[in-house]
Each structure stands twice: as C-alpha cells, then as structure tokens.
Amino acid sequence: MTTTMMRLRQHLSSRIYTSAIARIGNNRLPLQKQLRTSTARTNKLLLLLLVLLVLFLLLIPTVPPARVMSSSSSAASSVPFENPRSVVKKLLAESQPEGQGATVRRSIGRHELRNLDPFLMLDEFSVSKPAGFPDHPHRGFETVTYMLEGAFTHQDFAGHKGTIRTGDVQWMTAGRGIVHSEMPAADGVQKGLQLWINLSSKDKMIEPKYQELQSKDISRAEKDGVEVRIIAGEAFGVRSPVYTRTPTMYMDFTMRPGSQLHQPVPEGWNAFVYIIDGEGVFGRETSAPVSAHHCLVLGPGDGLSVWNKSGAPLRFALVAGQPLGEPVVQHGPFVMNTRAEIQQAMEDFYYGRNGFERAQQWSSSA
C-alpha cells in the first residue's frame, strides 16, 4: 500500500468521517422522502464531501515529471568532464626495421617510453611479402594483433593456424611459452597494430590461449558523429565479449568533422591514445591539434575528451589498463619479474622444456 493511501485511510477512519459515512450508508428512505430532507442537512453533507475532496487532493504527493533518457546517458557522455585526462607525454612513432624485412612505427617500447604498466610495446606495422615475422618465441605476456588493412597468417608449434583480415583481432596469451610465425597472407601492404600486454606473476606460466574475433563479430556503437569498434571494455553502453586477464580497455574510434567525444576511463588505470589517421584535439579543448602516428600518454582524471575540429575524419585507438605494480624484466620476447626468471626462460627455450618442448622440432611453413 502506498504512503498516500495509508494516510488517506487514517483520515477516513477518524470518528468524524466514519459517523458521516455511516449516516450516508444507513439512509434507506425512499427517494420522495430524501427530496424532502431539509436544506440544512443537504448543505452539511455537501460541505462534508467537499472537505473530503480537498483533504484527498492535499494528501497526494507531487510527482516529478518522468526523466527522459537520451543517448548521452550511456557509458560515454556528450558533456565534458570536470576533471578530464590531460596529455602528459607525446611521442611520434618513427619507422624502424623489425622482423625480416618488415617496418614498424614503435611508440611504447622505445627508450623514451620503455613501458606503461601494464603495456610493454605498441607497434604500427606495415609489411609486404616476402617480409614478415618468421618463427620466434614468447613467454610471460599477451599480444593483441589488430588488422587495419590486408591479412596476416599465424601458425604456432601447437598446431594452431589461422588468418586474420582487415578489422579482425587476435588476442594471444603466450603464458609459459609459445613459438609462432606471423606472415603476410595477401599481396600489397599489410597494416595493423600489435600491442603487448604484461601478465601478472601468477599468470606468466599459464597455458597458451587464443581469442580470435572476425570484424563482423566485434562490438560496435555510434552516437553524435562518433563511431567506435570495441575490442575490449565498454563504450556507449556496449561491451566487448573479449576476456582480458589483465583488465584492459581497447577501442577504435572514428570521429566525423565537428564531433566531440567524452569517454570515461576507469580511475587508476594507465591510458594512452594512438592516432591512426587525421588530427584531433585531445584532453582539453584549448590544446593544440595532434596528427597521425603520435602516441599520447594520458594523466589521471575522469576520462578522455576529444574534439575533431578539422575537415576530415579522425581515427585513433584508446587503450587503458589496470597497472600490475610488479617489476618488469624483459629480454627480447621474454618478459618476467626477475633476471633469474629471464635466464630460466632462455634456458627452457634452448633446451626445449617447461612449455618449449616442441620448439626444436617445429618450423612454420612460412
């Protein structure tokens, strides 16, 4: 029973009202006698009913108008943050050779930015046959390969093989050890991003795992001139199905000219932006625009604000992750917590043990 009805029942159950109602209910006189009832009594009854009506109206609480939900009341808002994340470091990812004849633009993983916990490396790769990344090992972290253009074929010593194409994602957990190759699967230039994400000490020696998503299966959302492909995490109220062992958000945004974005980022997470195409204003609206191939490290705050004030689309990746707060010791493709563990990883790979048992007998068809 609502509060209003309970209060009304209390008033109606008082002595004055119950006696009045009883008199009305017990009035069984014929209609002709009722008409002859004195004018004074009729006026009293009308007055009583009027009082009841006024009390009833006074007891009804004022109900606020229903709130209209708009598309802006989702995981991202069209209203700027009170405490936006500012750009605290800007790096231009310059081209460098990598693998066998391949070229990458490396931002995280250079001497200017050795790592950004939990992220170890970010490469924008550009590869044409016969170049590529032939057989090589990994231990202690995850690799996320996101194809921007073309196709890459992956195969490993456990028998796994597959090809990812434009818009596809492969999320590989190397764990205790894997040996694999990554080679172009089509003519022309193959382009993409590869991100290395560290694993906590308790997860570094787990069995290798894969999560592969075709472009059509990647979560998407669009609002106010902004499109997003959600590789991991949540944007505009839409969540990715990808499981991230190290808590991570990874999004590919495209903003039309004149649009703006205000995307929340979990408190305490480290975050960065990598600009793929175009130029935009990041952090604060008064900041200078930044162009393609720049990596922007974000400081603390509620989230990322972006404005596209140019006449062309702006495309960028927003990546954030929960810091592990553990020592990082890296030697090439091995990432552990101590030098002793790195030495152990090198010996395990050389002697073919502790996860690398098939390393010496296997070679890819590439």
Tell me the per-residue pLDDT of 163-199, one tens digit each, with 9 for 90 and over. 999 999 999 999 999 999 999 999 999 999 999 999 9
Tell me the per-residue pLDDT of 257-296, one tens digit each, with 9 for 90 and over. 999 999 999 999 999 999 999 999 999 999 999 999 999 9
| Alpha carbon of residue 222 to chain centroid | 14
Who wins on pLDDT, 238 or 65? Answer: 238
**3-state SS, residue 138:** strand
pLDDT class of 51 with cuts at 50, 70, 90 = low
> How many CB atoms are located within 10 Å of the residue 244 CB?
21
Is the pLDDT score of 343 beyond 90? Answer: yes
Tell me how far apart the alpha carbons of residues 214 and 209 are, in angstroms, rounded to a whole number: 17
Give the CATH number of domain 82-88+183-326: 2.60.120.10
pLDDT recorded at residue 80:
82
Q: Where are the alpha helices (DSSP H) in 153-219?
A: none
Is the pLDDT score of 39 beyond 60? Answer: no
Q: What is the pTM of this model?
A: 0.79
Q: Which residue type, as a one-letter code, is found at position 71?
A: S
CB distance 103 to 127 below 8 Å? yes
Pairing status of strand 290-291 against strand 260-264: unpaired
Tell me how far apart the alpha carbons of residues 277 and 322 are, in angstroms, rounded to a whole number: 27
pLDDT class of 22 with cuts at 50, 70, 90 = very low
